Structure 1
């Protein structure tokens, strides 16, 4: 080993214990001293202001002794060299060639991250007293984490990291770490009388803890990425317009192992430039791996993403463009809500809810008669709230009737007022309740599908085709087969399904789902056959492999070979579709891979994960220096991937569409003019719900 290498690696033989006083500790005998120069003398056994180390290995001792003899008067040179390298790395950041403002998380970056602390080294004195060991580059991160607060025990550092993760996941401002209330809360929780216990400072939250979290999250992301070659993946687009009028989009990659956040981009300057948008998306696909991407899941059919979707599959022959199934079902519900009779019933329900929830005395009276229940049901999906609230009203119909017939109501000031009388009449109107029942029959099957899609922990690609057919059949049954009642609902469903939602992937997933294919209800029509063929052509590029899959499909179709055992009703429904193929498709590897890639994809879009967009908006705002921007980039990478990781782990239970933390009143306010029109049975175009522009 050269002397220069020993000098650079002095950090391997000692560790910092006090950054303010520049106290270091020998790794061999645990002796503390001031500055790394004294540490070198200590290790080399050179007489001076510090005693020699008695435990240092002889070869290390000899190397440091030679080093000190050959480099007298030049302490700190290696530190300056490392710092210069660090600055070079921080400057080595290339602008995005296609002109988009793009901010990445740590998953795809190879440049070093800044810790957010000082950008300059401490001054180096003649005797090396102020010579720093820790530098703010990613290479120094692991050493920084080890060196930080060495006087603390490992449990205290772990407590700091746990608290820090809470900050990162929730997006709470780091200044809250300095709150005395937080300190008291922690101490009270653990029953500790210490004035300080595991509370990270704001600088630590931006420094060594953040970098440790980045490293851990990169490992998590790496493990997920490795699964893409087997299952394929979907790129979810999460787009929105912020308060500044900017068109922003985040890219999420979803697969059975879990979703990960890639990065966000400001596309405002390119919303009318289809070529630039295609270039952006091509870059995302290339980063994920062209061979891994099965589909892009868009969030809308309008705006820049709608224009992009119309051309995408013509320009990209190996990836499908699909639409978020949740969004499509919400569109169906919106269209159903615009039908005259349904709109009128929902408006009357709003009048009742506005009056009762808008006056404290009436609300108290309602809670007395309903056992402290409310009428309005706040939901995670706003489009669903009117229908669940109406369902709740029906369940409370008897209590409402008793309330408005009670002496408490009759003696209240509202019983004699016009609005109170109108609401009482509505509650007593049998046609309102009949209409409410009709609305629920038409919409609840769709609401249940929304819950299924958003709460499923397994990919739904193999089920969505059959599920939409089942929804239609359920609605038909609810209306006792009366065509005049269910056909208008069917027409709305078919309009959105045929025009926006349906994809060849859905048809192929239906065919390749053994629990459906081997059932007595399976029906393969031309749409299904075409979907399967389309997927084979787009996802399998080699003609030889296509021919093999075609022959192997015959074995699957006739349940021969290994498929014979798996085709029984018990076995075909016992496992998820992709798992079934891993068990029974081994003799047919080409078909197995083809089926697994299709059945492993999601039907839901990014809205399923309900990510907070504020950090991405901040990340895409100009005006920061490069170090601040990198710290914010790290935070976004950690924040969004922690949220995705947490939400993915919670899937699979009973999805709760209700949300107690949402204030529903704005959505259920009806102005006086509209109320008059509804009460009088008038229909005015100014009150009609607006259809999403095409």
Structure 2
């Protein structure tokens, strides 16, 4: 039996944006460098309705208009045509139907000047600066003004427009303020004002309006505090502590009596209710994008300290990841039918027409059998394994190729240094504050990360063990001290073996960085190129000596063939313009077969399959808009799906197909680092119905706030190497208490 929790019963389904909507019908070659990869961010791709041919001309004009807006300085205005100009003073767009003269303009306060209308009846618009689709004008104004809550802020909007939109969105508050909080009048001033109110009805209304504004400001401040509690998983009972109340009063100022710190009842009552509504609205907005871009269901599974097996379900798309639900699958481990039933239920809720792939976290146990049966049940949905998990397996196997000894020595060095506070401080003094121990959500990568750091600090570590401070210490004469200092200063074989192992592991570690945060754009279109580069770099590191690199290639190819590779990866490689048009593009039989497999599985209509084949020739031969100047210049700079949304308008069926493929990720939910303890608590029995309902809502809001605020908290990236260090990790366990606290705070 599977115990699962889903806070809200929104399902997928077809339709527009009225409520939660679905939509939409249902030997690798090594490649060159990834020039131009970077920047970007999650962008909402333009939706093109291939079924409405009569709108083709209109969509082409919109595509040209957006291309002009991407690089206005490259467009030469026609003497008699309308041109878009970028204001020198305000960086805002102005439509000028005169000659091409550029004149500074004030930032337009008309919201219509900052959007492209997509659906007149439903009021759906696209932001002119970041191309994000918004459900209505009110949210667009908040989006441009950088006001968080129901919509994420625009990162491309000019500053003056942002300030104006923020001003228009927020209520005008009267009265005195201090630290952003409305202050009350006191003493005779307040008494005089109250006397005026008694004799002046207009003054009474004015004071009433002021009080309402002050109350609204106070509630908004309390919501901000509540959001902090929820997002960071802080126990609501902490709000009753005197230290919390003192902290709030210290921040606001002792002279203010207006702000009342939220109580525990406020946090779990009206504040949680308001945040739940805001979160559901955010989720609704994301769901509305799935009809054009599709989405991936990511499985995040683990075993807790009690031995229970848990799974979080995250739905990922260019519009952003959202937490969908969680389940305790302890009773279903090994039960293929139960797991299929659980995952099928999630697919039905999300909308089968929206799901492009399911990304699992492992192939262990029965998950491989589950994947095969799910693929048979849902022909159009691909079952893939998290690329980060597979690279971790590669590192694990490479670490067993006669190199276990060097990893054991590196572990001994790290453990000794971090077990003694005096040695730890001495090491940091010589390394300039650089720590040897770093953590990773990919457990198998951690030993290689530490070995790489030790190798990079070789000179500093040798200087440390040769320093008078070390020689005069009591630890220098201990057996462990002599052994570790000897490895570092008098054992050349350790450094030689470390260098040999790093020649194989560093390219794989770099691939993990690339797939999990170094580049914002969805990585499915790059996984072929990335793994090809890994193999070529390993070969280069071994000076092309086949006896050295071939065993490593065998490990990589084995995991690629058995677990990582999927036809959808081949299709992504074929449809990525940043790779397809270059000379080193390698379309071998595996790539071609995978691409054709995707067409047949995703598109059941034979007529549509034929259209894709015909339109692919246009793509290959640079026909139509594929061959225009901007399309060529921006191949490697734009995210592949974004490129197709702009320049694939002549081939609508292929455009839609490409966008849905290239909008997907190739890594799992592990990269988002969801706090698992809250999910574990949620599935602990013994609560009454009301408390269980509240915790379900809290978990839903908490996870989605974390996911929604990822760009703000991590510069747009999610890096698996930013995991806090666990002082109880086996690499540093056994250290003295002070050193343990010190490393825990690094």
Which deviations, in whole Å up to 9, do the C-alpha atoms of 1:363-422 show, x marking residues without a partner?
A: 233233333433223344433222222222222212222222233333332333322222
User: How far 1:535 sits from its partner (Å)?
Assistant: 0.6
* Partner Cα separation in structure 2 for residue 614 and residue 548 of structure 1: 50
Residue among 555, 566, 574 paired with 1:503: 566
Mapping 1:454-469, distance limit 5 Å? 454-455=516-517, 456-469=519-532
Matched, 1:278 2:180: no
In the other structure, the counterpart of 1:206 is 268
Matched, 1:418 2:320: no
Kept in 2: contact 1:504–1:535 (CA 8 A): yes
Aligned residue for 2:445, secondary structure, equals helix
Aligned residue for 1:522, secondary structure, equals coil
Kept in 2: contact 1:298–1:321 (CA 8 A): yes
Would you say how many aligned residue pairs link Structure 1 and Structure 2?
535
Kept in 2: contact 1:457–1:648 (CA 8 A): no
Residue among 433, 445, 451 paired with 1:390: 451
Mapping 1:46-85, distance limit 5 Å? none
Mapping 1:550-565, distance limit 5 Å? 550-565=613-628
Aligned residue for 1:463, secondary structure, equals helix
In the other structure, the counterpart of 1:154 is 216
Mapping 1:122-137, distance limit 5 Å? none
Aligned residue for 1:238, secondary structure, equals strand
Higher Cα Rg, which structure: 1
Higher relative contact order (CA 8 A, sep 6+): 2
**Distance change >3 Å, CA 299–CA 658, structure 1 → 2:** closer
* Partner Cα separation in structure 2 for residue 670 and residue 190 of structure 1: 43
Matched, 1:331 2:233: no
For normalisation by structure 1, the TM-score amounts to 0.73
In the other structure, the counterpart of 2:4 is 102
In the other structure, the counterpart of 1:613 is 676
Kept in 2: contact 1:177–1:202 (CA 8 A): yes
Matched, 1:408 2:469: yes
User: How far 1:152 sits from its partner (Å)?
Assistant: 6.0
**Distance change >3 Å, CA 360–CA 628, structure 1 → 2:** closer
Mapping 1:61-460, distance limit 5 Å? 100-106=2-8, 108=10, 153-194=215-256, 197-340=259-402, 342-428=403-489, 429-455=491-517, 456-460=519-523
Kept in 2: contact 1:107–1:262 (CA 8 A): no
* Partner Cα separation in structure 2 for residue 213 and residue 408 of structure 1: 56
Could you tell which deviates more after superposition, 318-327 or 446-455? 446-455
Kept in 2: contact 1:299–1:327 (CA 8 A): yes
* Partner Cα separation in structure 1 for residue 255 and residue 552 of structure 2: 65
* Partner Cα separation in structure 2 for residue 424 and residue 393 of structure 1: 13
User: How far 1:556 sits from its partner (Å)?
Assistant: 1.0
User: How far 1:648 sits from its partner (Å)?
Assistant: 4.7
Which deviations, in whole Å up to 9, do the C-alpha atoms of 1:539-577 show, x marking residues without a partner?
A: 112111111111111111111122222696523113110
* Partner Cα separation in structure 2 for residue 216 and residue 262 of structure 1: 15
Aligned residue for 1:574, secondary structure, equals coil
User: How far 1:664 sits from its partner (Å)?
Assistant: 4.9
- Structure 2 gap segments, 5+ residues each: 13-210, 735-746
Kept in 2: contact 1:566–1:584 (CA 8 A): no
In the other structure, the counterpart of 2:183 is none
Residue among 586, 589, 592 paired with 1:529: 592
Kept in 2: contact 1:559–1:567 (CA 8 A): no
* Partner Cα separation in structure 2 for residue 190 and residue 109 of structure 1: 43
* Partner Cα separation in structure 2 for residue 363 and residue 243 of structure 1: 30
Kept in 2: contact 1:298–1:322 (CA 8 A): yes
For normalisation by structure 2, the TM-score amounts to 0.68
**Distance change >3 Å, CA 648–CA 531, structure 1 → 2:** farther
- Structure 1 gap segments, 5+ residues each: 1-98, 111-148, 672-694
Q: Give the superposed CA RMSD.
A: 2.4
* Partner Cα separation in structure 1 for residue 436 and residue 421 of structure 2: 14
